[in-house]
Every structure is written in C-alpha cells, then in structure tokens.
Structure 1
Amino acid sequence: MPENHSIDAGKSLKLYKKAPAPWKLKGQGIIMVYRFSKKWIEEHAGLPLHLQGKYKGGLGYVMLVNYEESPVGPYKELLLIPGKFKGSGKQSITKIYVDSESSTQNGRANWGIPKETAKIHWNEEGNTTLIRVQSKELELFSCEVKSFGFRFPASTGILPIDLHQRWDGVDYYTKPRGSGKAKLAKVNVKQVHKDFFPDISLQRPLFAVKIEPFQIFFPKPTFHE
C-alpha cells in the first residue's frame, strides 16, 4: 500500500458544521483484534513518515462503526489502529474512512485524526451485517459479519485506546472512553483494495466482537508542537 494513498475528493470543500471537542457518540460497531507482525505493518500498512520504522507491537484493531448519534449527526466509519509505536508508546489511527464530510473535517481539527470521506453502506439482515466502502464506483473494502453467542460487557478498559496523532505538524494526545454490550463475531473480509486500505484479508484476527449498543466519549486532546 503506497504511503498516504488517498481519495481524490474531486471538488472544493463544502461548508461543514463545526463541532469542537469533547464529543459523546452512540451506535454499534465491529472490532477485529489482531497482533500484527512488525514486517507486515512496515510493508503493507502505509504508515505516515513520522511512524515509519517505529512500530512497537501490541494489539491492533480494525474497526467498523455505525454512529447513530454524534455532534455532527449519524455517520459510519472504517479504521485501522496497527498497535503501539515507539516514542510516544501510544497507538495511532493510520487509515480511516467516514461517510460524513463534517466528521472528516472535525476529526482532523479536533484530534488530528487523518479522516477521508467515502461512501459506506451498512445493511443488517438478522444477525448478519453487510458492509461496503466505496469511492465513486470503486469498492475499497467489503465484509460480512455474523454475531453469535451471549452478550457480555465490553469497554476500553478491556480493549484500550490511547491515541497519538500528528496533523499539520501538531501532536494530539487523546484517550477515548467507551463501553457497551458485545457478542463474539465472525468476519469474512470479501474485498480490500490494497491501494486504499491495508489488505487484511490474509491476516487472521485473534477474535472479533460486535458491540451493540455502545457509547464512547472523545475528550479534548492535549497538544505538543
């Protein structure tokens, strides 16, 4: 995956609703938990320059989220957190798509999250969820998720998120807090366009969960320049 390969928006930026931090969000989501190899991350994850050669390891996440409530309205997202990086010792979102331009611009401004805007289709059929991410007619990612078993509590205490993001030369540090009710899930990754998202189709997750409902709080970040 080329470093920082991104979608061409094809048009000038429209006006968007500004919604400063903090944010409270509610919805449902799928988390695939991995332990990626350093070699795979360095070669295939499309890391930004400031993170190249600094991968430390730990748990990595691929997340698919359907936010039903947020300060900018409902939106959906696909993201990758490879794990922790040397230096800060924290995690970083290195690739993320959302289907709301307001979410994209506020995510960059509030927390330095490198969001890009794409179409995301999320269809529920019983215990099966079908998700597709598209840019124009190009399919970037698709998967089928089947949840099963009993519900159990899940939170960022169990699957922690502690972020260091760099955007326009500024370092943002944010520790979201979230909780919800989860079921185990099986995820069948059907399509990944490796030029736009790391090809996780041959990477086997440790486990996956579908969390519904959940709520998450994104506080104001701390900064370093």
Structure 2
Amino acid sequence: MRLITADDALPAVERVPAPWTLHGSGWILLLELPGEVRCDPRHLPEELRGLPLGGPSLVMFVDYADSPAGPYRELLYIPGRFRFPDGRRAWSVTRIYVSSWDSVVNGRLNWGIPKDRADFAVASTGRGERIRVTVDERPVASLELERRGPAWPVHSGLVPAAFRRVVQHHGGRRFELAPGARGRVGPARLASAGSDGELFPDLGAGQVRMALHVPRFRLRFPTAS
C-alpha cells in the first residue's frame, strides 16, 4: 500500500497529542465486498496481508465540526475485522482521506492512521448529502446518501472494548486503541456511489448490507498503546 504523501514530505503543523474528543456528523456503510477487493494490496499494508479477515467492510464519511486539530472532513475504509497471530481480532483503517494537513500529520503520529489529504465537496440534497472527494482534481470517490427515518441515541459503552479494538501499523510501529462514542444513529440509503479503484477501493464491486446516518456524535480517541 502506498501513501500519496510520504511521512518525510509532510508539512510542519502544530503537534496535538492524544487523547482527542471530537464532535460532528456522518454516514456509515456496511458493505459485502469480494475477496479480491478486501485483500487488494493497493489498500492493505504489508503487516495485514494474509491475515484472516471477517465481518463487514466499512466506509465512513465524517464531518468533524470540531476537534483538537480544528474542523475537517474525512472519508475512510476498513476492510473488515482482522484476526492476528495472538488470536485477538481488531479493525484497521487502511485507506483514509481528510481535508486538513493538521489531521493528516497528527493522525499518523498519534495512532498510525494512514491519512492522506484530499479536497471535499459536500452538497445538501434535502434528504441527505452528495459527497465528492478528489486529490489534485483526480476523483477518489463520490457518494450520495439519503436519510430514511428517525435517529435514535446510541452509546459505545454497550459494546465490549474487544469489539471496538483498532490496530494500526505505521512507520514500523504497532498502535492499539479502543475508541468510544455516543450520539444518534438512524437508517439511511446509498443512492449512488463511485470510486477510483486505485485511490479508493471499488465500491461498485460489492453490496450494501446497511447504511446509517449519524446526525450528531461525540467521539473519544484515546492514547494508543
């Protein structure tokens, strides 16, 4: 897997160490993708290749209204839940774009999240949002999502930390954490989607198992071990 901007080419930004508390809104897609997409080496770091992989793949668009690094937008991909040699399972973000360099740099340093910077165009459609992500004017992905019903309160405290475990590998280091969140979540629908395939996994190759709208949330990203 190759990052668009290597670590040694990143701009200098203010260091904002973990933990972080963030607020915002977003959308979540649970996808069933074929094995050749989930295991595509273009979107999978070497440390994860060949590991057993279960659960759904996830795509999320998040609009952070505030964070310790300022507001920013984000599009991320999680291939599924990996089983590591010690028998434990964890999610891992393997492809992610954000709209600010502050988020890129601090995300890599704090948690080993392989963030790259992109431009985001987001338009309201009345019932939802139309999202377009580009890098140097090259299309990365486009999504149109719609709300389908009311949102209900949820709290990650009801989910065991083992199921929230995230493991990242970056710069020769392993990062482990279990984020926590609370907010409101409601049903949604994916009206359309497209992606580059090289810069982001081929969304058209799979099926949507569930779509969710998150009108507001509070997210806690702890210090990684």
State if a TM-score over 0.5 links the two structures: yes
SS at match of 2:203: coil
SS at match of 1:50: helix
Alignment of 1:96-107 (within 5 A): 96-107=96-107
Partner of 1:191: 194
Kindly indicate whether the alpha-carbon contact (under 8 Å) linking 1:44 and 1:198 is maintained by their aligned counterparts in 2. Answer: no
Structure 1 residues 189 and 17, CA, compared in 2 at 3 Å: closer, same or farther? farther
Deviation (angstroms), 1:40: 3.7
Cα separation, 2, equivalents of 1:138 and 1:161: 33
Cα separation, 1, equivalents of 2:30 and 2:112: 23
Write the letter of the residue equivalent to 2:80: G
Write the letter of the residue equivalent to 2:52: Y
Q: Decide which of 24, 28, 46 is 1:27's aligned counterpart.
A: 24
Instruction: Indicate yes or no: 2:116 matched with 1:119.
Output: no
Q: Decide which of 64, 71, 74 is 1:67's aligned counterpart.
A: 64
Kindly indicate whether the alpha-carbon contact (under 8 Å) linking 2:81 and 2:90 is maintained by their aligned counterparts in 1. Answer: yes
Deviation (angstroms), 1:43: 3.7
Structure 1 residues 40 and 195, CA, compared in 2 at 3 Å: closer, same or farther? closer
Cα separation, 2, equivalents of 1:123 and 1:16: 29
Larger displacement relative to structure 2 (38-47 or 140-149):
38-47
Kindly indicate whether the alpha-carbon contact (under 8 Å) linking 1:120 and 1:132 is maintained by their aligned counterparts in 2. Answer: yes
Higher helix share: 2
Cα separation, 2, equivalents of 1:136 and 1:37: 29
Q: Decide which of 170, 173, 178 is 2:176's aligned counterpart.
A: 173
Kindly indicate whether the alpha-carbon contact (under 8 Å) linking 2:90 and 2:165 is maintained by their aligned counterparts in 1. Answer: yes
Alignment of 1:153-168 (within 5 A): 153-156=153-156, 157=158, 161-168=164-171
Q: Normalising by the residue count of structure 1, what TM-score does the alignment of the two structures yield?
A: 0.89
Which of structure 1's runs of 4+ aligned residues deviate more than 6 A?
none
CA deviations on 1:76-127 (whole Å, 9 max, x unpaired) are 0000111111214211001000011000000000001010111112222322
Cα separation, 1, equivalents of 2:34 and 2:136: 33
SS at match of 1:154: strand
Deviation (angstroms), 1:35: 4.1
Q: Give the unaligned 5+ runs of structure 1.
A: none
Partner of 1:220: 223
Cα separation, 2, equivalents of 1:127 and 1:80: 24
CA deviations on 1:11-38 (whole Å, 9 max, x unpaired) are 9533212110000000001000134454
